[in-house]
């Protein structure tokens, strides 16, 4: 971990080679102490700043501001690294084995840590004689938006895997705070069940991946490597013997595993996100499309997902997803209706020389869904309402159809852009979905339900006419199987 942090580029030897480090660590693997050591080192040497080449430059360099921000999902967790730094600099850390801190002996007032920043959170300020760097210990509450506007020369994020808004925080907040500094970002966490954003970031720097990003580096830290440094071998063996083997791989050795409560099979679902499909495909002449919409008025996301209908050699329905869009945050009825109408109209085309067809299905669970259906019907005649509520059996049937399509390889999705967020929700989904992001999964379930629909499935609707208008042939589906093709006839 230290070697990866220290490596520099050849052209500019003071610039970090790896701008993002992701560490998947077991519990009690020593990651908190390691992060504390890195922060102290970075602040004393002002890592990332070009070192001075003259005495005049040295005077300016030592006065140059240097800010390191350490984040965690809760203030108590952020303060763990603060405690490590305080013990190290005061010479009382157990790892120092009573030898004290030689650096603090040379500079008795090497840092101050007894005053909170604006009375709000922990704050370490180094002595001006050693550069005057500052370390801020903050929480990611309110998606870290309180940190906007600050240049950051270094960032660390402890237990990042437990942050439900990790992608937004990294892309929309932290990345922008280091644009002018080239500062390093350290993401450290024990892998967790249900949230996959940290795993996605980790694999971008996986040394074994052929498409690893060159400025990212990822590694694992096993608890086993810390035995003898605060952990007793006999006690470790006794406790691990009683653990589930899956949990040993995750919580001890830092591997990402699929949780027992995950609804979709991780391997089969992940295979369906493919590089063969572009992020967006426009409507094709004679194409047949379905749109699944999951509306949300409050703080969830409204998703629209559109797929192109086809069939395989056995006559079974297949779907290639061609477009995904969403509206986030507090929304209006008009905005949600507009999202669905835009998607529908983009693929339901009827003009001279070009025709394609799209059918829209809406998650109408609860009062809000029925209200949106009424508003949508004014713009999209024939929109279908799908109810997930009422009984667990009904919900399981709809989700089971989605799982079948994924397991059988008949639902393909792009592996790029916004589809990575869809992938994250699919891999992290569980039936008890009240506390997780699941809007994209519900939109997919609506899409699949509409694509598989036949007259036998719904008394109040007609079959989706997945036809090829270019040559007048109409595939007829019954019980999800292509049974006949007739010309000039619509079923």
Per-residue pLDDT at 46: 95
Is the pLDDT score of 2 beyond 90? yes
Whole-angstrom distance, CA of residue 471 vs CA of residue 474:
9
Whether 208 is covered by a domain: the verdict is: yes
Domain finish residue from 191, 218, 252: 252
Residues 238, 310 within the same domain: no
- Strand segments, DSSP code E, in 261-315 are 273-274, 288-294, 302-311
| Number of domains comprising the chain | 2
Q: Can you tell me the distance from the alpha carbon of 350 to that of 189, in angstroms, rounded to the nearest whole number?
A: 52
Same domain, 466 and 341: yes
In this structure, the answer to whether residues 226 and 289 fall within a common structural domain is: no
Residues 336 and 248 in one domain: no
Which tens digits make up the pLDDT trace of 154-176? Answer: 999 999 988 888 888 998 889 88
List the one residue out of 154, 139, 189 whose CA is nearest residue 31: 189
Residue 123 placed within a domain: yes
Of 406, 421, 402, the C-alpha closest to 361 is 402
CATH number at residue 239: 3.40.50.300
User: Are 211 and 360 members of one domain?
Assistant: no
Query: 145-166: string of b/e by CB count within 10 Å (b at 16+)?
Result: eebeeeebbbbbbbbbbbbbbb
> What's the pLDDT band for 254 if we cut at 50, 70, 90?
confident
Q: Is residue 362 part of a domain?
A: yes
Q: Does one domain contain both 474 and 434?
A: yes
Task: Look over the chain and give the mean of its residue pLDDT values, rounded to a whole number.
Answer: 83
Contact (Cβ atoms closer than 8 angstroms) between residue 218 and residue 199: no
Using an 8 Å Cβ cutoff, are 121 and 35 in contact?
no
User: Are 98 and 143 contained in the same domain?
Assistant: yes
Asked whether the beta carbons of 325 and 302 are under 8 A apart, the reply is no
Question: pLDDT value at position 313?
Answer: 87
Is 356 among the domain residues?
A: yes
What local confidence, expressed as pLDDT, does residue 306 receive? 96
pLDDT band at 49 (very low <50, low <70, confident <90, very high): very high
Residue 132 has pLDDT above 90, yes or no: yes
Query: Alpha-carbon distance 345 to 349, whole Å?
Result: 7
Kindly report the pTM of this predicted structure: 0.62
Average pLDDT over residues 322-347: 86
* pLDDT for residue 138 is more than 80: yes
220-253 pLDDT tens trace: 988 888 888 878 888 888 878 877 776 787 778 8
Residue scoring higher pLDDT (48 or 297):
48
In a domain, 260, yes or no: no
Q: Does pLDDT of 291 surpass 50?
A: yes
**Over residues 138-143, mean pLDDT:** 79
pLDDT digits (tens, 9 = 90+) for 350-386: 888 899 999 999 887 765 566 777 778 788 888 888 8
Say what the pLDDT of residue 469 is.
36
Q: Is residue 258 part of a domain?
A: no
366 found inside a domain: yes
Sign of the CA dihedral 274, 272, 437, 217? negative
The pLDDT value recorded for residue 260 is 56
Instruction: Note whether 330 and 236 are same-domain residues.
Output: no
Q: Are 75 and 118 in contact (CB under 8 A)?
A: no
pLDDT band of residue 143 (cuts 50, 70, 90) is low
Res 92 pLDDT > 90: yes
Query: How far, in Å, CA of 132 to CA of 224, rounded?
Result: 37
Average pLDDT (26-43) is 92
Residue 70 above 80 pLDDT?
yes
Specify the pLDDT at position 342. 92
Q: Using pLDDT thresholds of 50, 70 and 90, give the confidence band for residue 187.
A: very high
Assigned domain for 257 exists? no
- 422 and 329, same domain (yes or no): yes
Residue 367 contacts by C-beta under 8 Å, 6 or more apart in sequence? none
Identify which has the larger pLDDT, 212 or 318. 318
Note the pLDDT of residue 264: 84
User: pLDDT tens for residues 441-488?
Assistant: 999 999 999 998 743 333 333 344 443 333 444 444 444 444 444 444
Per-residue pLDDT averaged across 255-267, rounded? 71
Q: Please give the residue range of the domain that contains residue 158.
A: 2-252
- Whether the per-residue pLDDT at 336 is higher than 60: the answer is yes
**For residue 271, pLDDT beyond 50:** yes
Is residue 245 located within the same domain as residue 274?
A: no
Q: What is the CATH number of the domain that holds 424?
A: 3.30.420.240
In terms of domains, do 349 and 480 share one?
Answer: yes
User: Of 230, 252, 274, which residue is a domain's last?
Assistant: 252
More confident residue, 196 or 366: 196
The percentage of the chain sitting over the pLDDT mark of 90, rounded to a whole number, equals: 43
**Domain closes at, from 252, 278, 309:** 252
Whether 189 and 286 share a structural domain: no
CA 42 to chain centre: 28
Q: What is the pLDDT of residue 370?
A: 66
């Amino acid at each position: 971990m230290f070697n990866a942090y220290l490596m520099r580029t050849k052209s500019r030897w003071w610039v970090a080679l790896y701008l993002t480090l992701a560490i998947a660590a077991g519990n009690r693997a020593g990651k908190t102490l390691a992060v504390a050591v890195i922060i102290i080192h970075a602040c004393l040497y002002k890592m990332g700043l070009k070192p001075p080449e003259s005495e005049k430059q040295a005077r300016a360099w030592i006065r140059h501001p240097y800010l390191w921000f350490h984040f965690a999902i809760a203030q108590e967790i952020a303060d763990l690294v603060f405690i490590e730094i305080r013990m190290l600099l005061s010479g009382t850390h157990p790892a120092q084995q009573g030898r004290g801190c030689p650096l603090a002996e040379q500079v008795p007032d090497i840092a101050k840590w007894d005053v909170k920043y604006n009375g709000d959170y922990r704050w370490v300020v180094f002595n001006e004689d050693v550069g005057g760097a500052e370390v801020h210990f903050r929480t990611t509450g309110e998606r870290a938006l309180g940190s906007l506007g600050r240049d950051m020369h270094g960032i660390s994020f402890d237990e990042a895997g437990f942050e439900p808004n990790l992608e937004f925080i990294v892309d929309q907040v932290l990345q922008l705070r280091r644009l002018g500094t080239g500062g390093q970002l350290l993401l450290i966490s024990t892998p967790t069940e249900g949230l996959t954003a940290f795993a996605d970031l980790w694999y971008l720097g996986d040394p074994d991946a052929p498409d690893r990003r060159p400025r990212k580096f990822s590694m694992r830290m096993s608890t086993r490597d810390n035995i003898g440094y605060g952990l007793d071998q006999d006690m470790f063996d006794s406790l691990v013997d009683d653990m589930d083997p899956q949990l040993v791989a995750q919580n001890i050795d830092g591997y990402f595993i699929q949780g027992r409560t995950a609804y979709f099979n991780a391997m089969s679902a992940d295979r369906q996100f493919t590089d063969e499909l572009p992020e967006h495909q426009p409507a094709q002449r004679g194409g047949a499309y379905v749109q699944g919409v999951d509306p949300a008025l409050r703080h969830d996301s409204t998703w629209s997902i559109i797929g192109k209908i086809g069939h395989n050699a056995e006559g079974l329905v297949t779907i290639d997803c061609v477009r995904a869009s969403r509206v986030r945050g507090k929304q209006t009825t008009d905005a949600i209706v507009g999202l669905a109408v835009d998607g529908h109209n983009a693929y339901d085309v009827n003009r001279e020389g070009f025709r394609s067809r799209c059918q829209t299905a809406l998650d109408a669970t609860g009062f809000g869904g029925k209200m949106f259906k009424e508003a949508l019907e004014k713009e999209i005649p024939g929109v279908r309402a799908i109810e997930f509520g009422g009984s667990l059996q009904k919900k399981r049937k709809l989700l089971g159809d989605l799982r079948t399509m994924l397991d059988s390889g008949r639902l393909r999705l792009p592996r790029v852009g916004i589809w990575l967020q869809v992938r994250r929700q699919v891999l992290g989904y569980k039936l008890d979905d009240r506390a997780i992001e699941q809007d994209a999964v519900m939109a997919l379930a609506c899409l699949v339900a509409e694509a598989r629909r036949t007259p036998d499935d719904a008394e109040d609707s007609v079959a989706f006419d997945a036809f090829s208008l270019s040559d007048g042939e109409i595939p007829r589906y019954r019980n999800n199987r292509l049974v006949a093709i007739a010309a000039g006839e619509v079923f």
